[in-house]
């Protein structure tokens, strides 16, 4: 950590600051400049709070040099982590995983039908929302437990592991029992209570990026889960909020090489929520594969016009199959299978 102090800071104040850090076991080097003095701290600074340091009125700025995350940090864990989701392996050089399914679960029959179509097209996992985060209290909020059980039924028939969003600590037992991959949604990326609770679960976690969060904040949310004991975290980019109006969000594919550089964890891409428009899903899926994503999560619905939510961004099963088929040779170019 680098701390600069203001012009004219008295010698005794500089000494007081130095003593304070040394008392915390850090070693301090002072660089005296013309208009500023700068301290460099060496040691474990992850527990230091920048804002507390900055509260000293003689301090001008505080810069963290070392990343604030440890368990997720590739610096301390060189090999890729491969996460096992009910037998499906995600990450490293494993096969690129494709997850398909409806935005909202709409009943047993339709869920089974979609699951079969996802499997037939080459998908290897089923997604579906039973608890839905909706901006309006008057909108459909999901089928709840019934929806989870519909997915369980579809898993029994197709063998596809299931992924669904957990919105509340209240439902942790239900998800621990039934769901294979527990999704934390974008709006809950910094719901720290929920992250702590999920950190105690045994099931792997799919951590979506918040709408306006930096990659560092996202990794820190993974760190929350890992610090709780659950190291099976998969990142999921689903677009960030920008000024653009022609898409629902802006898909940030540069997260793929960055997450792989900074952490050892896998990353998958959700082109459906990112663009909000089925017409852009194929090109963004192929781009994600070319950029090195470990997987895709795509909304699939046989009759998007009558889907209960987000039909505009859902692919029909035929188009979903096409995406997978076009993606295969691209995966091979970069040394992966799909």
Residues 94-133 that bind a second copy (CB under 8 A): 133
Element (H, E) at 208: strand 205-208
Question: Least separation, in Å, of the C-beta of 55 and a second copy?
Answer: 3
Number of residues that bind a second copy (CB under 8 A): 110
Q: Residues of 233-260 as b/e, b for ≥16 C-beta within 10 angstroms? A: bbbbbbbbeeeeeeebbebbbebbeebb
* Binding map of a second copy across residues 319-338, x = CB under 8 A, - = no contact: -------x--xx--xx----
**Which parts of 201-220 interact with a second copy (CB under 8 A)?**
211-217, 220
Near a second copy by CB under 8 A: residue from 11, 12, 25, 32? 32
Element (H, E) at 27: strand 27-32
List residues bridging with 138 in a β-sheet.
Answer: none
Q: What is the spatial distance between Cα 164 and Cα 185, in angstroms, rounded to a whole number?
A: 10
Question: Least separation, in Å, of the C-beta of 301 and a second copy?
Answer: 9
Question: Least separation, in Å, of the C-beta of 272 and a second copy?
Answer: 11
Q: Per rule CB under 8 A, is residue 52 in the interface with a second copy?
A: yes
CB 127: neighbour CB atoms within 10 A? 28
Looking at the Cβ atoms of 88 and 259, the one nearer to a second copy is 259
Q: Per rule CB under 8 A, is residue 200 in the interface with a second copy?
A: no
Q: Which range in 54-62, 89-97, 113-121, 144-152 contacts a second copy by CB under 8 A?
A: 54-62
Q: Residues of 14-42 as b/e, b for ≥16 C-beta within 10 angstroms? A: beebbeebeeeebebeeeeeeeebbbebe
Residues 6+ apart with CB under 8 A from 246: none
Looking at the Cβ atoms of 31 and 157, the one nearer to a second copy is 31
Instruction: Give one DSSP letter per residue of 107-132, joined into a string.
Output: -HHHHHHHHHHHHHHT--EEE-BSS-
On whether the CB atoms of residues 212 and 241 are closer than 8 A, the answer is: yes
Q: Is 288 exposed, middle or buried (0-12, 13-18, 19+ CB in 10 A)?
A: buried
Looking at the Cβ atoms of 150 and 299, the one nearer to a second copy is 299
Looking at the Cβ atoms of 58 and 86, the one nearer to a second copy is 58
* Binding map of a second copy across residues 166-195, x = CB under 8 A, - = no contact: -xxxx----------------xx-xxxx-x
List residues bridging with 269 in a β-sheet.
Answer: 237, 296
On whether the CB atoms of residues 316 and 272 are closer than 8 A, the answer is: no
Q: Per rule CB under 8 A, is residue 25 in the interface with a second copy?
A: no
Q: Which range in 77-85, 152-160, 176-184, 237-245 contacts a second copy by CB under 8 A?
A: 237-245
On whether the CB atoms of residues 163 and 144 are closer than 8 A, the answer is: no
* Binding map of a second copy across residues 287-326, x = CB under 8 A, - = no contact: xxxxxx-----------xxxxxxxxxxx-----------x
Question: Least separation, in Å, of the C-beta of 156 and a second copy?
Answer: 29
Q: Per rule CB under 8 A, is residue 23 in the interface with a second copy?
A: no
**Which parts of 270-289 interact with a second copy (CB under 8 A)?**
274-276, 279-280, 283-284, 286-289
Q: Per rule CB under 8 A, is residue 151 in the interface with a second copy?
A: no
Question: Least separation, in Å, of the C-beta of 14 and a second copy?
Answer: 14
Looking at the Cβ atoms of 149 and 290, the one nearer to a second copy is 290
- Grouping H, G, I as helix, E, B as strand and the rest as coil, residue 331 is helix
Q: What is the spatial distance between Cα 175 and Cα 193, in angstroms, rounded to a whole number?
A: 16
Q: Per rule CB under 8 A, is residue 253 in the interface with a second copy?
A: yes
Q: Per rule CB under 8 A, is residue 11 in the interface with a second copy?
A: no
Q: What is the spatial distance between Cα 154 and Cα 69, in angstroms, rounded to a whole number?
A: 38
Near a second copy by CB under 8 A: residue from 125, 256, 267, 268? 256
């Amino acid at each position: 950590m680098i701390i600069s102090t203001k012009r004219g800071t008295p010698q005794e104040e500089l000494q007081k600051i130095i003593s304070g850090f040394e008392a915390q076991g850090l070693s301090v080097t002072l660089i005296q400049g013309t208009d500023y003095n700068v301290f460099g701290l060496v040691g474990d600074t992850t527990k230091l709070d920048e804002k507390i340091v900055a509260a000293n009125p003689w301090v001008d700025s505080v810069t963290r040099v070392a990343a604030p995350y440890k368990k997720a940090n590739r610096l301390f864990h060189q090999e890729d982590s491969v996460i096992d989701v009910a037998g499906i392996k995600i990450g490293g050089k494993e096969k690129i995983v494709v997850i398909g399914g409806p935005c909202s679960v709409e009943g047993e029959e339709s869920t089974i039908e979609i699951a079969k179509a996802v499997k037939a097209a080459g998908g290897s996992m089923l997604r579906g929302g039973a608890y839905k985060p909706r901006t309006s209290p008057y909108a459909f909020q999901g089928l709840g437990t019934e929806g989870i059980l519909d997915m369980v039924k579809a898993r029994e028939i197709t063998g596809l592991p299931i992924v669904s969003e957990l919105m509340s600590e209240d439902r942790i037992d239900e998800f621990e029992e039934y769901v294979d991959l527990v999704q934390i949604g974008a709006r809950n990326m910094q719901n720290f209570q929920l992250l702590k609770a999920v950190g105690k679960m045994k099931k792997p976690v799919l951590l979506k990026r918040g709408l306006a969060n930096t990659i560092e904040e996202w990794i820190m949310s993974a760190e929350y889960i890992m610090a709780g004991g659950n190291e099976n975290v998969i990142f999921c980019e689903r677009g960030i909020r920008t000024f653009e109006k022609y898409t629902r969000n802006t898909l940030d594919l540069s997260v793929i090489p960055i997450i792989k550089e900074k952490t050892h964890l896998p990353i998958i891409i959700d082109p459906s929520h990112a663009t909000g428009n089925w017409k852009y899903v194929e090109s963004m899926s192929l781009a994600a594969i070319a950029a090195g994503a470990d997987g895709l999560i795509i909304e699939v619905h046989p009759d998007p016009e009558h889907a209960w939510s987000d039909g505009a961004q859902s692919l029909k099963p035929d188009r979903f199959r096409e995406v997978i088929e076009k993606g295969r040779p691209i995966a091979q170019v970069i040394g992966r299978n799909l």
